[in-house]
Chains A and B, each alone.
Chain A
């Protein structure tokens, strides 16, 4: 270039060159075109010089306002092997290729929630370069969000403010990630409570409730009368955490609230306090409806449902209008029994134990109504003794004995029991009933599954294989087993990996598919064991 002789055109020529080029040299003579020179060539010559000159003369622009630096993350970094594993788990996002039949390889995305839980339990910080992929994964799967956002930490919220695609992270985190004030500084707390956004105020209330339950209630009282109805409902709901008898006077007052939803929530919270006045009032009402029938040889229960829903009942949260298709009287009865402390029945029904009470026959088809209400009461009051009785023995649950309740109710009742007892009950259920109805119940069991439960599931899968069905009939349980079975059980599965001989009644090819499914199960378990090991001891 330095050998090309070119006179420097004056500034402003570039604009003129562009104008001439746009219009065409037939209409406009370009600047610097000598007479007799071919105009288009002169234009191209001049434009070439100018283009290179302009490019060579480029300088940086003025900097825009730089973003506030992200808040520091004091958590320790992941061990190298765990960081590699995370990169691999995030590579396996939906839409990154593959698809079709699952084959023998594990579904890495399904392991991500477990990996996140383990990493969070150990308090590690996320590698910053993994945050975009992590946020994208959480964007696609709402169930992943709480754990992913906890792991992602403050820098993810900082990123979310810059990228509209990740706004969900700000919504999902109370207060949009703004730091809560020092809870011991009353001025700051008052300021945020008076002037904060709704999400910030909810976060503040929850944070205080977690540390000093009465202080949260007292803060709420200061502004209660001026809050909007839907805000009152959310604030009231935050008292569910660490609920105690101390909250009763405030909740009693809330029973007179203008909003029906607020009244109902207050009543529900009060009924979970067995010694509350509301619980006592409900006990009186319910007791009037259920009695032991002494006129027969065999003792049994007679039920006389309420004939009306009076204003006192309504004030205590009983919803007067029954949903379509339900009788009013049974609707009211159910609500009374549900809100009555379970201890009431032992006194009321002749000193019988819960087991004896549940075993009593009930006259006039009231049995299912009454038992269902007791189930709801046991869940609401976290009463393990009643829950146990209502669940019945797992080996004979469908025989019409006690506990003839739906799977959904069983799952809720199970959640009131300790982990070990829960696992034993479900193991017993599977041993007796097989897997077809076990899915919902397995979902409430702690991970990894206790040994007897894991064995019951594997045995049941083995039986299903021998029965000649296809593995995808059990894909839900199989998927759960991949995520929940104790990795230490992998060795036990070795015998199931071979392709069995095809029997006459088996579905064609099923044996091969089963071997493949078990192989995937073993591979996934090994992978989970490696994952845990890489993260180190919690």
Chain B
């Protein structure tokens, strides 16, 4: 496959930016002005010299064909990644005809590329030959056992906290405040059970989350209790459910499913951030298999996660599922070509079927907050202070989640619809539907709502 004619949109390029300031700075560099000797190769490389404030222009090169998403190199001192020059160069490549002509990479770019490709080859060769088993299986087993013991102690302690809460009554939780659960969460971190820690922390936030909080607190306490109990009796669970419990507890696992090669349409990509970590979620849809898979990628505080797959492109690649019943999480394996534009769309369902889909998924994983679904022919409809997605052909509707209602993506969705039915991909759960991507009726590019 060649790169000529395979252009990304500006939105797809801007989605790579680590923050709003980079997006803005990159946009300004997306014009011919400061660039010289820009070019691109059929192998999927873009390079150029960007005039900065100094006398020597910055050397920028991007490898868009890299199997792990675009790779960047720039001689500027910026610690942002990708830097504004890499974004500007990609915008220039995406935008103006002829601004980035096809050609032979100059020496400085070729050197970096050759180095990268060599390292990738070496890694692949090493991965193929070395056995994945740890050097000392006995030591690993003892480490795992020690960790399981600590988690068991943590789960017991958490059960004690929950029964104390129910004995005194939820009404007391409002006075108890956030600190108690924060402290409990810290103890779960010590017990090496990050999944329990996160749920414990969320419990602390519920009493201040508005009307109906006692019901939510009871639900989440009960599900946390269910997780504790499932962990304590994991020996008796079916393998798949036990694997789900381990991943909910926060134990690391690695993808063990057979690699599935498909043309994966990137349905959506969005980040959630907390002070310590940026989590990037990328939803993929196999256009041949019909499978939906979730890729997760993490970035340390303030840094964008490394994996970036712009929405609307498709990639010819293998993915492998993580263990667990109904588990959608997968890992990206070998990529056979760079992401390229596609007109494929996922098949959608009406709202009633989407709700059934969530109900069935809960059978495999009762802690599941939401499932990915594509809704066909729905109309964004105002409903008092909130919004819903109403079937065009029945009188049924799914409410939007409170967070979805306050995001700018809602208005892009409403604008795209204009009162007419649209196809919408998003996450549906007990809180409602969160739209992530929408397609207009008839032809047209998908619109990101993240």
Residues of A within 8 A of B (CB): 1-3, 17-18, 21-27, 38-41, 43-45, 47-48, 50-52, 54-70, 81, 84-85, 87-88, 91-92, 96-98, 103-106, 108, 128-129, 131-132, 155, 158-159, 162-163, 516, 519, 522-524, 526-527, 530, 534
Q: A160 to B214, alpha carbons, bound, how many Å? A: 37
Across the interface, B381 reaches (CB within 8 A) one of A64, A70, A84, namely A64
Residues of B within 8 A of A (CB): 9-11, 14, 19-25, 27-34, 51, 53, 91, 94-97, 162-172, 214-215, 217-219, 221-223, 225-226, 237-238, 241, 351-352, 354-355, 358-360, 362-364, 366, 379, 381-384, 388, 390-391, 394-399, 408, 411-412, 414-416, 418-420, 429-430, 440, 447
List B contacts of A534 (CB < 8 A): 96
Q: A45 to B23, alpha carbons, bound, how many Å? A: 49
Check B94–A84 contact: CB distance below 8 A.
yes
Q: A482 to B122, alpha carbons, bound, how many Å? A: 51
A70-B420, A155-B418 known, 11 other contacts, Cβ within 8 Å: A1-B363, A39-B166, A48-B222, A55-B429, A55-B430, A56-B363, A64-B381, A92-B28, A129-B412, A162-B382, A530-B96
A-B contact pairs, 7 of them (CB 8 A): A47-B221, A50-B222, A51-B218, A58-B430, A98-B25, A159-B415, A523-B33
Across the interface, A61 reaches (CB within 8 A) one of B162, B215, B398, B419, namely B398
Q: A65 to B390, alpha carbons, bound, how many Å? A: 9
Main SS class of interface, B: helix
Check A47–B94 contact: CB distance below 8 A.
no
Check A59–B162 contact: CB distance below 8 A.
no
Check A56–B414 contact: CB distance below 8 A.
no
Check A44–B447 contact: CB distance below 8 A.
no
Task: Given the known inter-chain contacts A44-B163, A67-B419, please indicate yes or no for A22 contacting B397, CB distance below 8 A.
Answer: no
Nearest Cβ distance between residue B227 and chain A, in whole angstroms?
Answer: 9
Check B166–A43 contact: CB distance below 8 A.
yes
Check B218–A21 contact: CB distance below 8 A.
yes
Which of A3, A40, A526 has the largest count of B CB atoms less than 10 A from its CB?
Answer: A40
Q: A325 to B384, alpha carbons, bound, how many Å? A: 58
Check A1–B366 contact: CB distance below 8 A.
yes
Q: A70 to B162, alpha carbons, bound, how many Å? A: 52
Main SS class of interface, A: helix
Q: A24 to B394, alpha carbons, bound, how many Å? A: 44
List A contacts of B358 (CB < 8 A): 55-56, 58
List A contacts of B225 (CB < 8 A): 41, 44-45, 47-48
Nearest Cβ distance between residue A146 and chain B, in whole angstroms?
Answer: 20
Q: A30 to B359, alpha carbons, bound, how many Å? A: 27
Check B214–A18 contact: CB distance below 8 A.
yes
List B contacts of A52 (CB < 8 A): 223, 226, 362, 366
Task: Given the known inter-chain contacts A24-B167, A51-B222, A84-B10, please indicate yes or no for A523 contacting B31, CB distance below 8 A.
Answer: yes
Check A158–B388 contact: CB distance below 8 A.
no
Check A87–B11 contact: CB distance below 8 A.
yes
Task: Given the known inter-chain contacts A21-B170, A87-B10, please indicate yes or no for A108 contacting B396, CB distance below 8 A.
Answer: no
Check A64–B415 contact: CB distance below 8 A.
no
Check A22–B362 contact: CB distance below 8 A.
no
List B contacts of A67 (CB < 8 A): 379, 381-382, 419
List A contacts of B415 (CB < 8 A): 128-129, 131-132, 155, 159
Check B414–A91 contact: CB distance below 8 A.
no
Task: Given the known inter-chain contacts A55-B430, A70-B419, A108-B27, please indicate yes or no for A163 contacting B411, CB distance below 8 A.
Answer: yes
Check A47–B397 contact: CB distance below 8 A.
no
List A contacts of B390 (CB < 8 A): 63-64, 66
Check A51–B31 contact: CB distance below 8 A.
no
Nearest Cβ distance between residue A478 and chain B, in whole angstroms?
Answer: 16
Check A60–B411 contact: CB distance below 8 A.
no
Q: A435 to B388, alpha carbons, bound, how many Å? A: 58
List B contacts of A57 (CB < 8 A): 359
With CB as the reference atom, state the residue of chain B lying closest to A59. Answer: B355
With CB as the reference atom, state the residue of chain B lying closest to A528. Answer: B31
With CB as the reference atom, state the residue of chain B lying closest to A56. Answer: B359
Q: A98 to B366, alpha carbons, bound, how many Å? A: 45
Nearest Cβ distance between residue B35 and chain A, in whole angstroms?
Answer: 10
List A contacts of B10 (CB < 8 A): 84-85, 87-88
Check B419–A68 contact: CB distance below 8 A.
yes
Check B355–A22 contact: CB distance below 8 A.
no
Q: A534 to B364, alpha carbons, bound, how many Å? A: 52
